[in-house]
Structure 1
Amino acid sequence: MEEQKNTVVHIVDDEDSVRAAASFLLEMEGYSVRTWQRGTHFLAAAADEPLGCVIMDLRMPEMDGLEVQRRLHEAELYFPIIMLTGHGDIGTTVAAMKNGAVDFLVKPFERETLLTAVENSWSLFNDGGARRQRAVRAGALVQKLTPREKDVLSGLTMGLPNKHIALQLGISPRTVEIHRANLMSKLQTRSLSDALRVAFSAGVGRQMD
């Protein structure tokens, strides 16, 4: 593996099988992996831990991933965070991305999806100049959208499913699906997390916070 700017990965998940599987895949790629069974455990030790990518489950006993993320920020501990989520948690994960998470993965995740997310996490999190450049590019991409596509994108940034966006806009769910496919093509994105990243970089949805 090529030398990376940061090779430490913290896995925070209460499921033994998830920690074991993710650790195995990442260690095979040369990463140094540290695992944590609870968000509270990681939070208590974070100040003394090496800075690195954090793969954190959204739903955990004692304290969920959003609260861990919030408390890390309060303590000025800025780890690039990838949230692990179930299919029913997308709305909450959107909130995590608004609060600084760099990506999210839906369980169960594929090997290549995990590795790509980890490889991208540090560059997405760091470098203010690159972040400004992404904001300019994101704004230009968003300007290519039609007004209705922008409406659908705004709904996605709020974590709304297609049927709720359809109800809000007075159109059919199928029409929302078409607009969603078109806007993702225009934004040059392949996944919802990529589309959200472009939207947030361009400032879409921030007026709804």
Structure 2
Amino acid sequence: MSIETVLFDFDGTLADTNALISQSHLAVLEEYFPGEYDLESVRAFNGPTLEMVYGKLNPLEKETMIAKYRHFNETHHDEMVTIFEGVAENLDRLKSAGIRLAVVSSKRNDVLLRGLDLLNLKEYFEVIVGGLDYKKAKPDPEPIYVALEQLKVDFETAIMVGDNSHDIESANNAGIVSVFVEWSEKTLAEIKPYHPDVTVTSMTDLADYVIRNKARIKGD
């Protein structure tokens, strides 16, 4: 059975939002925990939802901290979000090859659409799933189920592409092929314990995998 559908994470996969996310966390954490965090230590917060991060750090102030994060993030969004090399041209290749494309993100829907519009990527995707479209976030498989149900495709023909452990675990929990991208912040050494099925080093590498090795699907 061939690969028919590719699901993409957004942050750190299609868009380089790593600096924006880290600076947004630092702006909040410096207020609540002065001097306790730096750019390296907040890397661990890139992947989990804001509710997970701040609910663990300070449950009583969670909602206020999330609001402060979002204010910083949205204020600096357009100046700090960039597209990764090769994304647009290889989305073109996949689309031309008849591959159906979707975004599956934990990002709030309005900010997700803003980012896709900013980078001129929205036209490539039939389905865009954001944080308001499901109840349980990655690593739960629900976000993937929502996307695949909207696309009306067989689960076994889909793959999930992402840059962090939550993407890989969500795909594995959904029973579809998980693809880790090495062009973002997380290293293969960090992600390997979560057992990605495939690792790619560039968007060209990913498109080649999908187009040339369509039969390489979980269970075959």
TM-score w.r.t. the length of structure 2 is 0.40
Higher helix share: 1
Question: Whose RCO is larger (CA < 8 A, sep 6+)?
Answer: 2
TM-score w.r.t. the length of structure 1 is 0.42
